[in-house]
Structure 1
Amino acid sequence: MNVKNSYTLADVALRAEVSEITVSRVLRNKASVAEKTRERVLAVVREMGYVPNRVAGTLASSGSNLIGVVLPSLSNIVFPDVLRGIHASLASSGYQPVVGVTDYDEDVEEQLVASLLSWQPAAMILSGLNHTAYTVEMLKRSGVRVAELMDIDATPLDIAVGMSHRQAGIDTALHLYRRGYRRFGYVGHDRSRDLRAARRYEGLRQGLAEVGLSLVGEIAADAPSSTMAGRELLGQLLARHRDLDAVVFSNDDMAVGGVFHCFAAGIRLREDLALFGFNGLDIGQALPQPLSTIRSNRFLIGKTAAEMILEVPEHPGVPTIRDTGYEIIEGATA
């Protein structure tokens, strides 16, 4: 992991068989380069994991107090909570977070990582364990500490801080089974982009299988989670499967929408239908019947990751995983 990016513009130019000026023009997206040449240079750049050094020619320490933070969203309250935790650890450290938002797009993440690494940050903090191959290569060659947050279900590049989403899905199934529910439905959002939601979904199915059950019905939006989507999709699911006794949602945003559907349709929560979410958001706990859900330790995740980077600035040579756990909130909807 700790292989410092020693490639220079000259190395790229040599391998691509062009001049350094041509490489510079390609990286600055100048139009005066033939398309075939541009493609060849970019292929070499990706192959080498090369990142331009935008600090070169300035004071060597000018970028050393920056920590790159790449998150999938700031409109979802989950990630502002994580960012607050990061800021709490960095506030008196002299380091400054520089934040980019991907909207759950790995290609956008790749662009942001390349941009942030070009400023020679002291460390990088990202969300999740899945990235493009080029992003992984850039991070490996950067030589800086890399913290991947929210998920510990795979081996990290360096530091992983979070929880097992697969286990959270299993525990959701077993918790509801122990409470007497047998006919399960699922309402979700786009799992192809939100891989942590996908792991919880897989865990839910695994947990149900362990007690001899399976999902009776399921429905998912080809879009990010939202309260409105949760409300609309629960209505559609119940129109197809009227005998469900419990519905698990991909997160609290969706589950709160499901609660609103039940209010409007005269469905008694817990008595007629149990609803269960994920995240433990305040809005779910502020409902007349507090949402049954799992609370993730979002602030702690961000705070712990930043603390680990500050405590040991150099990569120890082996990945480190810190499980911040989660809590089942019984609530009043399941």
Structure 2
Amino acid sequence: MTVSRVLRNRGDVSKATREKVLSAAKALGYVPNKIAGALASQRVNLVGVIIPSLSNMVFPEVLAGISAVLDETPLQPVVGVTNYRPEKEERVLYEMLSWRPSGVIIAGVEHSAASRAMLENAGIPIVEIMDVDGEPVDSMVGISHRRAGLEMARAIIAAGYSRIGFLGTKMPDDHRARKRMEGFEEGLAEAGLALEDREFYSGGSALLKGREMTEAMLARSPDLDFLYYSNDMIGAGGLLWCLEKGIDVPGRLGLAGFNGVELLDGLPCQLATMDACRREIGRKAAEIIAGTAPEGAAGVRLELTPRLELGDTIRKPGQTA
């Protein structure tokens, strides 16, 4: 009975006895059967974390924030990847919920009807992350991507740019990139401007893709004076291509990305970007699941504010083309 109390993490065992039991279990390579314990509670100490990509540098930081919080609890994150495909999200969510986890953290607020029905009927804390432009199933933690795009457009216009192109992932797959573009276009419209050119791609965010897209767009629209990228990886590729070709950045051509990834610290000059609060989003979501968030454990709607960093690729006041 004493061993059982220790392995179930009950508090009514002395510290010395607990250490003896855990030491013996470790030496024997013993792992308790959690399924048996879950039969009574109908829950396991797992938290399903469903994200669209592991190749995108954004999501490992989100996972780091989640892990930092859950490491202090009995809860353990289990990760599923959807590759931005709704049908894959349905399969991953179905498998995760079949294990009766203690909660689910899932990227985005757009889901298929089947996925949304599973989330609504799960009977556990659900936190949708990365985005607040939508109606959550339960709780949500993220930023407004429409507002992020709007603020970037205003900053670009204030710096004197007017012939602008957008380069990014295919919009049907990446809802957050689509919302940033919509907010960006709204900001341009405020000044009587519109996007002059667009270049979309499918696949992961990569430096090479950014170089190729930048070359293609400037060959097609050489008079552009600013390029707005949907993420920092392709933006960094574009910056490297421009510097290689001797293009005056930010005088002749301004550039900006999105996410504020650490990769930017190693570039010859700092790409303008906007921090997406990735680690903080992960931490806040995990706190809601663990029941330690000051905002509560259900129905939380938490919007974080990204920080715009002009870097070296947007003209400063007084700079001329």
Q: TM class by shorter-chain length?
A: 0.7 to 0.9
Q: CA separation in 1, counterparts of 2:102 and 2:136?
A: 18
Give the match for residue 93 of structure 1.
73
Task: Give the letter aligned to residue 289 of structure 2.
Answer: I
Question: Residue in 2 aligned with 1:106?
Answer: 86
Note the C-alpha offset of 1:57: 9.6
Tell me: CA distance 1:220–1:92, structure 2 relative to 1, closer, same or farther (3 Å): same
Q: 2 CA distance for matches of 1:70 and 1:210?
A: 37
Q: How many residues align?
A: 280
Q: Which residue of 1 aligns with 2:305?
A: 325
SS across alignment from 2:49: strand
Q: Give the 3-state SS of the residue equivalent to 2:121 in structure 1.
A: helix
In structure 2, how many angstroms separate the alpha carbons of the residues matched to 1:58 and 1:66? 11
Residues 67/199 of structure 1: CA separation in 2 closer, same or farther (3 Å cut) = same
Q: Does 1:81 align with 2:61?
A: yes
Q: Does 1:153 align with 2:153?
A: no
Query: Shift of residue 76 of structure 1?
Result: 1.3
- The residue identity in structure 1 corresponding to 2:162 is R
Q: Assess if the C-alpha contact under 8 Å between 1:290 and 1:333 holds in 2.
A: yes
Secondary structure of 1:59's aligned partner:
helix
1:52-91 to 2 correspondences below 5 Å? 59-61=39-41, 63-91=43-71
Normalising by structure 2, report the TM-score.
0.83
Distance 1:157 1:224 in 2: 28
Structure 2: which 5+ runs fail to align?
1-33, 315-321
2:237 match: 257
CA apart distance, 1:310? 1.8
1:220 aligned partner: 200
> CA offset at residue 222 of structure 1?
3.3
Structure 1 distance, partners of 2:65, 2:264, is 21
Match of 1:276 among 213, 236, 256: 256
Q: String of CA shifts for 1:28-48, please: whole Å, max 9, x gaps.
A: xxxxxxxxxxxxxxxxxxxxx
1:230 aligned to which of 210, 232, 256 = 210
Tell me the residue number matched to 2:274: 294
Opposite residue 303 of structure 1, the aligned amino acid is: R
Q: Deviations over 1:226-262 (max 9, x none)?
A: 2211110111110111111111001101101101210
**C-alpha distance in 2 between matches for 1:312 and 1:273:** 47
Question: Which residue does the alignment assign to 1:128?
Answer: 108
CA shift at 1:212, angstroms?
Answer: 0.6
Between stretches 284-293 and 123-132, larger displacement belongs to 284-293
2:154 aligns with one of 162, 165, 174: 174
Which one-letter code corresponds to 1:272 in the other structure?
R
CA distance, structure 1, for counterparts of residue 92 and residue 36 of structure 2: 19
- In structure 1, the residue corresponding to 2:91 is in which secondary structure? helix
Report the counterpart of residue 17 of structure 2 in structure 1: none
Match of 1:296, SS state, is coil
Of 149, 163, 167, the match for 2:143: 163
Distance in 2 separating the partners of 1:159 and 1:57: 28
TM-score by length of 1: 0.80
In the alignment, which residue of structure 1 is the partner of 2:228? 248
- Residue 192 of structure 1 corresponds to which residue in structure 2? 172
Q: Which residue does the alignment assign to 1:10?
A: none
Contact 2:249 2:313 in 1 (8 A): yes
8 Å CA contact 2:232, 2:259 repeated in 1: yes
Deviation at 1:265, TM superposition (A): 1.4
Moved more, 195-204 or 281-290: 281-290
Aligned counterparts, 1:197-208, within 5 A: 197-208=177-188
Q: 1:141 aligns with which of 93, 101, 121?
A: 121
Local SS of the residue matching 1:60 = helix
- Distance, in Å, in 2 between the alignment partners of 1:94 and 1:275 is 45
When the two chains are superposed, the root-mean-square deviation of aligned CA atoms in Å is 2.1
Alpha carbons 2:56, 2:204 under 8 Å: kept: no
- Amino acid in the other structure paired with 2:211: R
Q: Per the alignment, do residues 55 and 331 of structure 1 end up closer, same or farther by CA in structure 2, a change over 3 Å counting?
A: same
- Structure 1 spans left out of the alignment, 5+ residues: 1-53
> What secondary structure does 1:205 align onto?
helix
CA contact (8 A) 1:55 1:62 kept: no
Q: Which amino acid aligns with 1:161?
A: V
Checking the alignment, whether the CA contact within 8 Å between 1:70 and 1:99 is kept in structure 2 is yes
Single out whichever of 104-113 and 219-228 deviates more from structure 2: 219-228
**Distance in 2 separating the partners of 1:222 and 1:140:** 31
What is the identity percentage for the equivalent residue pairs of Structure 1 and Structure 2? Answer: 41
